[in-house]
């Protein structure tokens, strides 16, 4: 149950981050925002606020165990989805040696808006 609930918030945090980075690249490449079928009215506030809210929920999953730090098993099980995500993400970064993409270099041309 913990892993499933946590996975949902990790996914939403990824969506918020992707939205922020996509729109940043879209603007940096001098694209017209009006060409997008869906627009966030209060960009960049919306994706940043969504990301912050998701992070608060993720950290607050079992904040008592996090603050006390005594019961390692409870801490591990409460954040099991986060540990799994971070291990998979770190492995991917190590294997592919991928780096952050400059907004001007992002490939957004192949999508049809």
Q: Round to whole Å and give the CA distance between 12 and 92.
A: 20
In a domain, 53, yes or no: yes
In a domain, 86, yes or no: yes
Residues 57-85: pLDDT tens digits?
Answer: 888 887 777 777 667 787 777 788 888 88
Which residues constitute the domain of residue 36?
2-96
The pTM assigned to this predicted structure is 0.80
| Total domains, the chain | 1
In a domain, 101, yes or no: no
Predicted local confidence at residue 1, as pLDDT: 58
- Average pLDDT value over all residues in the chain: 86
Q: Round to whole Å and give the CA distance between 106 and 43.
A: 19
Q: Round to whole Å and give the CA distance between 113 and 111.
A: 6
In a domain, 38, yes or no: yes
């Amino acid at each position: 149950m913990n892993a499933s609930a946590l996975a949902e918030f990790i996914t939403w945090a990824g969506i918020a981050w992707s939205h922020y980075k996509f729109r940043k690249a879209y603007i940096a490449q001098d694209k017209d925002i009006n060409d997008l079928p869906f627009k966030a009215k209060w960009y960049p506030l919306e994706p940043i606020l969504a990301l912050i809210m998701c992070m608060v929920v993720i950290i607050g999953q079992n904040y008592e165990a996090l603050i006390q730090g005594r019961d390692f098993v409870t801490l591990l099980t409460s954040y099991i989805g986060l540990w799994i995500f971070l291990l998979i993400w770190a492995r991917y970064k190590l294997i592919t040696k991928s780096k952050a993409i400059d907004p001007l270099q992002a490939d957004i041309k192949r999508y049809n808006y």
